């Protein structure tokens, strides 16, 4: 199989509400949409695959203009690449896009979508042999006025969501108030806290103590401390009495080894954009599982396209404790059709080949 062409365009989708986390804010996605055409030279069959390169500055170093530029440049040298050879595909991706993991992830996703379509199997089957599965996702409450967060939670609870990923880490007192308010309005909620690197270990432990006093069910605490503060992460892991999930601290296998050596987490959040693609996220997940860590599968702020791609990785890995594939629900427009069918928190992956997803032709 050979690449025929790679095209890239901005993927800017407005959000229903500003997405505010400890480290930043966005109102519209800042992604690049990649469309890759691959041909099977034996049968002459062609398939177009899609990928989302999802920037979320400052969580990602990259922003949209650099992504568009990097991918357009890589596209010029794509036509000789034999993508049936995984090693050759990886070498080309590293040579052209090794400097931008977000761009690499988008291009790799588009290629793997096309390759698995030509192979006639769902992407999760191509990746790890698994059949398309059903996943249950949490839903994110970005940082906002506590009463507003509680109102959002009530609305989501009515749609069937019960696990709330609550963004914290900006202002400890406000975080505590927001958690108490959400808990009061949705008493059967369970919580996954995500500080996006915003706390010291002491603050993180204070938040957990407050959550315990309020009798909240906290399933995990994601990235309480700064990415490099592995000592702090380790202290929270020892003392918080809850699973600590590394996100910003663990992007690759070397990070994983460092975190394991210091016992700095009990689990890892996998994301395509931070690992540089599906194959690397899958590999990181396999290693983490082998070392006894739990897994979360998440994303940046991504559309149905990025969420579907990560859902295929989750399905291929199996036994993923925390599914955090909700950001398509936070967007004001649907730009794609397929990938999965959703019913509240339940995502059922489509059984077609590849990602089984296509771009909607929009009229705006
Ligand atoms: Mg996170």
Tens digit of each residue's pLDDT (9 = 90 or more) over 27-59: 999 999 999 999 999 999 999 999 999 999 988
Give percent of the chain with pLDDT exceeding 70: 99
- Residue 80 scores a pLDDT above 90: no
Average pLDDT over every residue of 130-157: 96
By the 8 A CB rule, do 102 and 62 touch? yes
- Range 104-131 average pLDDT: 97
Q: How far is the CA of 321 from the centre of ligand 1 (A)?
A: 15
User: 301: CA distance to ligand 1 center in Å?
Assistant: 11
Ligand 1 centroid from CA 221, angstroms? 10
First-to-last alpha carbon distance for the chain, in angstroms, is 36
Distance 357 CA to ligand 1 centre (A): 26
The domain 2-120: what is its CATH number?
3.30.390.10
> How do the residues of the chain divide into helix, strand and coil, expressed in percent and rounded to 5?
40, 25, 35
Distance 222 CA to ligand 1 centre (A): 6
Ligand 1 centre distance from Cα of residue 4 (Å): 36
112 CA distance to ligand 1 middle (Å): 25
Listed residues: CB within 5 A of ion ligand 1:
194, 222, 247
Convert the pLDDT of each residue in 152-176 to its tens digit: 999 999 999 999 999 999 999 999 9
Neighbouring-strand partners of residue 192: 165, 220
CATH superfamily of 134-359: Enolase-like C-terminal domain (3.20.20.120)
Confidence of residue 361 (pLDDT cuts 50, 70, 90): confident
Q: Residues 170-210: pLDDT tens digits?
A: 999 999 999 999 999 999 999 999 999 999 999 999 999 99
- Average pLDDT, rounded, for the chain: 96
Assess whether pLDDT exceeds 60 at residue 214.
yes
Domain boundaries, the chain: 2-120, 134-359
């Amino acid at each position: 199989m050979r690449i025929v062409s790679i095209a890239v365009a901005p993927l800017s989708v407005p959000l229903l509400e500003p997405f505010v986390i400890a480290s930043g804010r966005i109102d519209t996605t800042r992604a690049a949409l990649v469309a890759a055409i691959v041909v099977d030279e034996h049968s002459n069959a062609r398939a177009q695959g899609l990928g989302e390169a999802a920037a979320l500055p400052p969580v990602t170093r990259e922003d949209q203009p650099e992504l568009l530029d990097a991918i357009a440049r890589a596209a010029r040298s794509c036509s000789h690449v034999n993508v049936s050879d995984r090693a050759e595909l990886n070498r080309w991706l590293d040579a052209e896009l090794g400097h931008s993991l977000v761009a690499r992830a988008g291009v790799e996703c588009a290629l793997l979508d096309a390759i698995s379509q030509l192979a006639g199997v769902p992407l999760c089957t191509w990746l790890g042999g698994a059949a398309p599965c059903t996943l249950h996702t949490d839903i994110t409450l970005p940082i906002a006025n506590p009463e507003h967060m509680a109102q959002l939670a009530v609305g989501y609870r009515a749609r069937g969501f019960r696990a709330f990923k609550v963004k914290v880490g900006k202002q400890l007192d406000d975080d505590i108030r927001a958690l108490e308010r959400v808990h009061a309005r949705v008493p059967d909620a369970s919580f996954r806290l995500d500080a996006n690197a915003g706390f010291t270990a002491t603050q993180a432990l204070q938040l957990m103590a407050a959550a315990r006093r309020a009798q909240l069910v906290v399933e995990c605490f994601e990235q309480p401390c700064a990415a490099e503060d592995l000592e702090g992460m380790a202290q929270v892991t020892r003392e918080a009495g809850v699973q600590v999930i590394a996100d910003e601290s663990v992007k690759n296998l070397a990070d994983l080894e460092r975190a394991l050596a210091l016992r700095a987490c009990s689990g890892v959040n996998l994301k395509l954009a931070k690992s540089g693609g599906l194959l690397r996220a899958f590999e990181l997940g396999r290693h983490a599982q082998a070392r006894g860590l739990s897994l979360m599968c998440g994303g940046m702020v991504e559309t149905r396209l990025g969420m579907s791609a990560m859902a295929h990785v989750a399905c291929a890995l199996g036994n993923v404790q925390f599914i955090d594939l909700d950001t398509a629900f936070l967007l004001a427009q649907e730009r794609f059709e397929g990938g999965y069918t959703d019913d509240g928190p339940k995502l059922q992956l489509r059984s077609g080949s590849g990602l089984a997803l296509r771009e909607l032709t929009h009229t705006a």
